[in-house]
Amino acid sequence: MPAKLYKLNASPPARAAMMACEIFKVPVEMVNVDFVKGETLTPEYLKMNPLHTIPVFADGDLVIHNSHAILIYLAEVYGKDSSFYPKDVKQRALINQKLFFDDGVLFAKLRNITYPAFALGQRGLTEQQLKDLEECYEFLEEILSRQKYIALDHITIADVAAYATVFVLDYILPLNAKYSKLSAWLKEMDKQPYAVKHKAEGLNMLATYINSPVNSK
C-alpha cells in the first residue's frame, strides 16, 4: 500500500511535505484534512497524532507528525537526488540548523498571527506582529547575504521548508525593496516545478482562511 500524507493545502508545513513528495517522487496518497470541521480531533486522527496538527505522514507502521522530520525521512528513504539532503555531516548540520530555524522562528511567528485570528477572533495585525514579520525578513535577508540559498549554495530541504512558510508571510505582509536578496530567493523558489504545482491550490485556500481575519480591522 502507498504511504499517506494527511494534509491541508493552506498549511505551510503540509505544503512543504507535499513539495517534498513531488521532489522525491514518493508513491503517496494525499488525504485532505479539514481542521475547521474538526477532522484533526477525531479518535482516528488523534491516534496518529495526539498533537492534532497537520501534516501527518504514514508509511506502513511508521507515523510522523512533524513536517521537518517528514522532509528528512523522505529525503533519506525516497530521495535519489542527494543534493537536497547531502550525506556530508557538516552540510547536514547546516541544513538541520535552518530546519529548526523555520520550525522555531519563522513558522512560530506565523502561527502567532494565524492562531489569534482563527481561534480568538483577532482582526488585523498588532504592532508586535508586524515587528515580528519584519524581524523574520531581516533574519532571512542576512542569511541570504551569505549564500544564495537558506543553508547551502544550492536548494535543499531547508529551502523547501522555509519557502512554504515565507510564501504565506509574504502574502500577509508583502516584501519591500529593502529585502532584495530575500525577494530574489522567493522568486527563484516560485519557479521550481514542485512549487508551481502546489502554489495555486495553496493560494486559493489561503484567501479563504487568511484574508478575512488577518487583513481586516
Terminal-residue alpha carbon distance, the chain: 48
Amino acid at site 7: K
Among 100, 89, 98, which residue's Cα sits nearest to residue 155? 98
Among 38, 25, 34, 213, which residue's Cα sits nearest to residue 126? 213
Instruction: Judge whether 11 counts as a catalytic residue.
Output: yes
Q: Is residue 73 within 8 Å of residue 64, measured between CB atoms? A: yes
Q: How far apart are CA 19 and CA 193, in angstroms?
A: 9
Residue 85 DSSP one-character state: S
Grid cell in block for residue 215: 487583513
Q: Is residue 215 within 8 Å of residue 124, measured between CB atoms? A: yes
CB neighbour list of residue 168: distance below 8 Å, 6 or more residues apart: 12, 110, 206, 210
Torsion angle of C-alpha atoms 69, 150, 95, 100, degrees rounded to 10 = -50
Q: How far apart are CA 108 and CA 59, in angstroms?
A: 27
Q: Is residue 24 within 8 Å of residue 75, measured between CB atoms? A: yes
The catalytic position among 11, 67, 82, 145 is 11
Catalytic residue numbers?
Answer: 11
